Amino acid sequence: MNDTLFILMMGMYYHPLLKEQFYQDNVIKVNVPIYFMHGIDDLIVNYALTKTYFDKIEAPYKEFIVFDKSAHLVPFEEPDRFNEVVKKILEES
């Protein structure tokens, strides 16, 4: 396996007290592939803001994977599909 970077977006990053430390303003370019997995019905982490951030990032490869039957807890709400996606990513790495 290579140096694949998984970024799991957690709702905590939108907390106003953490705005100063939010990596959206700091992490714009990475040298490894990145994968965002986002539940379309997530009410904790805003889909549109996450997608906007994802679009700003420069990476050798990036993929935004949407889970249509999930909210914030993708691995628990769609475990089979989540496992399939992770397995595919690892096999291709």
Burial (0-12, 13-18, 19+ Cβ within 10 Å), 56: exposed
Return d(Cα 73, Cα 75) in angstroms, integer. 6
Q: Distance between alpha carbon 67 and the CA centroid of its chain, in Å?
A: 11
Hey, what amino acid is at 71? A
The number of distinct structural domains making up the chain is 1
Q: Which residue has the higher pLDDT, 44 or 17?
A: 44
pLDDT tens-digit series, residues 26-76: 678 888 888 999 999 998 888 888 888 899 889 999 999 999 999 999 999
Look up the domain containing 83 and give its range: 5-92
- CATH number at 71 reads 3.40.50.1820
Q: What is the 3-state secondary structure (H, E, C) of 27-84?
A: CCECCCCEEEEEECCCCCCCHHHHHHHHHHCECCCEEEEEECCCCCCHHHHCHHHHHH
